[in-house]
């Protein structure tokens, strides 16, 4: 169950002051994005190559539509990771508007929140311009993760703006602690969507295991 959080931009400083949230930089704290990742099939790789090509093509014709990230990139990933099938369920939370200054022009976007199986939170940064890095969604993601009630189990998150992806692990104890994966970028050599999908599959297995 997710507690109610006021839909507004929140800062990491507010979370640190209110909850005592701490960043852990020990590499052993968050091994789930690196260890025991399942292999993916050649068919899945071909589908991800198509996703990458589709996203690259859309970037040639700005401005992007508001829901392009979810439609073109995130939805195929969630489908391939089986997050649309039982026992998973996807719940959408309220969007949060964000703004940024780009050479004197105020650029508006929104952050959409998806809750998967009460154990995995996905933050999607939507904008008609590529003005927002995944850093914009980090505090909002952690706020939703802190609101999930399973205090004795690790909670995982993903932030994406379509081109970049970063995973987050939160452990809620007396002092809540979190750690980050490395940043995956869709246009790095090769196709890093392969690894993003492998991590999603791994976290999905952990979620079903801890809820069984």
Rounded CA-CA distance 61/124 in Å is 21
3-state secondary structure of 174: coil
pLDDT given at position 170 = 93
pLDDT given at position 36 = 94
Q: Count of CB atoms within 10 A of residue 158's CB?
A: 28
Rounded CA-CA distance 150/20 in Å is 18
pLDDT given at position 60 = 86
pLDDT given at position 129 = 52
pTM of the model: 0.85
β-pair partners for 185:
164
Q: Count of CB atoms within 10 A of residue 205's CB?
A: 14
pLDDT given at position 160 = 87
CB-hemisphere CA count at 13 Å for 25? Answer: 0
- Which regions of the chain does DSSP assign to beta strands (E)? 22-23, 90-92, 96-102, 105-116, 120-127, 155-160, 164-171, 177-180, 184-185
Rounded CA-CA distance 183/116 in Å is 21
* Contact criterion met (CB below 8 Å) for 208 and 87: yes
Q: What string of pLDDT tens digits covers the 212 residues of the chain?
A: 333 333 356 788 888 988 899 999 999 999 999 999 999 999 999 999 999 999 999 888 877 666 788 889 999 999 999 998 888 888 876 666 555 554 444 445 556 778 777 788 887 776 555 555 677 778 888 888 888 766 678 999 998 888 889 999 999 888 899 999 999 999 999 999 999 999 999 999 988 876 65
């Amino acid at each position: 169950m997710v507690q109610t959080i006021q839909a507004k931009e929140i800062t990491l400083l507010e979370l640190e002051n209110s909850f005592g949230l701490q960043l852990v930089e020990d590499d052993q704290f968050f091994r789930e994005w690196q260890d025991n990742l399942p292999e993916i099939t050649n068919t899945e790789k071909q589908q991800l190559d198509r996703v990458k090509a589709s996203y690259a093509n859309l970037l040639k014709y700005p401005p992007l539509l508001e829901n392009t990230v979810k439609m073109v990139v995130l939805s195929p990933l969630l489908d391939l990771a089986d997050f649309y099938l039982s026992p998973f369920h996807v719940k959408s939370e309220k969007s949060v508007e964000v703004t940024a200054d780009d050479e004197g022009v105020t650029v508006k976007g929104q952050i959409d929140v998806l809750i998967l199986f009460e154990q995995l939170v996905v933050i999607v940064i939507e904008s008609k311009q590529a003005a927002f890095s995944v850093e914009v969604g980090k505090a909002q993601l952690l706020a939703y993760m802190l609101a999930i009630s399973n205090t004795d189990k690790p909670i995982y998150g993903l932030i994406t703006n379509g081109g970049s992806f970063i995973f987050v692990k939160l452990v809620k104890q007396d002092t809540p602690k979190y750690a980050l994966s490395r940043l995956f970028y869709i246009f790095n050599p090769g196709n890093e969507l392969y690894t993003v999908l492998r991590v999603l599959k791994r976290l999905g297995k952990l979620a079903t295991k801890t809820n069984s």
